[in-house]
Amino acid sequence: MTKKSKTGGADAQINKLREQIDALDVKIQAQISERARLALAVAAIKQKEGSNNYYRPEREAEVLRKVLERNQGPLSEEAMARLFREIMSACLALESRLRIAFLGPEGTFTQEAALKQFGHAVETVPLAAIDEVFREVESGSAHFGVVPVENSTEGVINHTLDMFMASPLKICGEVALRIHHHLLGKGNDLSGANCVASHQQSLAQCREWLDANLPGVKRVSVASNAEAARLAAADVGTLAIAGDTAAQLYGLHMFASNIEDRPDNTTRFLVIGTLDTAPSGNDKTSLLLSSRNRPGALQRLLAPLAKNKINMTRIESRPSRQSMWEYVFFVDVDGHMKDRKVAKALADLEKEAAFLKRLGSYPKAVL
């Protein structure tokens, strides 16, 4: 068989496969359009009932969990979830385009978390500080906000926790974002670099890599990774540690990828809003507690959780800011406030706690 005939046979096979792909594309597009029409029908019913809550976190979590259960490859679970998230985002935008406030500027990991949660068919609003995100949502100027709350390497973000003490907002969802840091710059090589800029947490998360690879280069802490990328775009002597979004936004070269010291480096973000989220079947509840001033107070405070077999997944203490040496506790537990066991535990907690605030029940992060 000649080389030409072999090539011709391969071309024929490829053309046949492409015809099958084209036929599938027609079906997929038609089914997406039908899904959008059904979403609009749901919106019309809600409008007649006087409801404007088009976005339901528990419903989206349920859909994504079913997507992952059905997935048999070859696409990864993350890729499949991202595709369906974008379909849901586009369908929701036909009903009402969401306005999402986030800790900016543009190009931060918080923006990536917002887009992972809500898809790209939303308007994202960058704000300069966490308290500004809270105020934007409280005023009704944004439907929801996204703020960081803890990192698996560097721990909790105290400012976010402190905001819940006075804010009426609730936690409506959470996003777990795997953080990959890249070394970015405008030049063609690293020879002219005189400093590395990034947020202080990112510098800490890449400390070992920087020690080994750029030991003599000054490290500069700035307000955000996006700000570091902006500085690097303006000065070839400045390198930035930032993510994919910042690299694309500021047109930077990637000199090294995934330079974080821990490959499982993950940041947890909270979705804040005014919505009471219904049970999704796999939920988490966040509480704000303070104990009475007496011996064994913390043990007494947490006893109702153990008594009702409620799993506590996290506890953090913060100064109450009411009087010296008084503390409040931020607690996460498995389950939804409407679950029988959780409801019983909360009723018992109210009797024991000096203060109890329900910050919200919401679906656990799907991925």
- Spatial neighbors of 224 by CB under 8 A, at least 6 apart, are 103, 104, 105, 108, 199
Given 269, 285, 329, 330, which residue is catalytic? 269
Distance CA 16, CA 10 (A): 10
Angle between helices 340-352 and 297-307 (to 10 degrees): 160
Say if CB 271 and CB 172 are below 8 A apart: yes
Q: How many residues does the chain have?
A: 367
- Taking the C-alpha atoms of residue 97 and residue 146, their distance in angstroms, rounded to an integer, is 16
Angle made by CA atoms 121, 127, 129, in degrees to the nearest 5:
140
Known catalytic membership, residue 269: yes
Distance of CA 124 to the CA centre of its chain: 13
DSSP 263: T
Which of 267, 285, 329, 330 is labelled catalytic?
Answer: 267
- CA pair distance 6, 12, nearest whole angstrom: 10
d(CA 220, CA 203): 9
Q: Is 267 a catalytic residue?
A: yes
Could you tell me the two tokens for 283? 């939920």
Residue 327 identity (one-letter amino acid): Y
Residues with catalytic function: 267, 269
